[in-house]
Amino acid sequence: MRGLVIATLDVVAYLVLIAATVAGTLFGMTIASNPYVGAMERSLAPILGTVAGFVGGVLVAGGVLVLTEIARNSRRTVELLQRLQER
């Protein structure tokens, strides 16, 4: 059961990355659609929004993936110590 939860958390981390990138793009597009924004900002807003969303998503997803990898390594360490104890 524990493995299923950790595997699901990996998938959720990737989905968070995708959602953050899409949200950043949409935010940039809403700024670009504002008629009172200058031409330079209109062209850069979707790009900067996408980059900012991706970077934010990478930070969150990376943190989650690091924690899941720590959980896997801790499990392997416990199993190794148990095998060594049996000898």
Query: Does position 22 have pLDDT exceeding 90, yes or no?
Result: yes
In the predicted model, what is the mean pLDDT of the chain?
Answer: 91
Q: Is residue 74's pLDDT more than 80?
A: yes
The pTM for the full model equals 0.79
Q: Is the pLDDT of residue 51 over 90?
A: yes
Residues 44-73 as b or e (16 or more Cβ within 10 Å = b): ebbeebbebbbebbeeebeebbeebeeeee
Whether residue 2 has pLDDT greater than 80: no
Structural contact between residues 64 and 13, judged by C-beta atoms closer than 8 angstroms? yes
* DSSP structural state of residue 74: H
What's the pLDDT score for residue 71? 84
Cα separation of 53 and 75, whole Å? 33
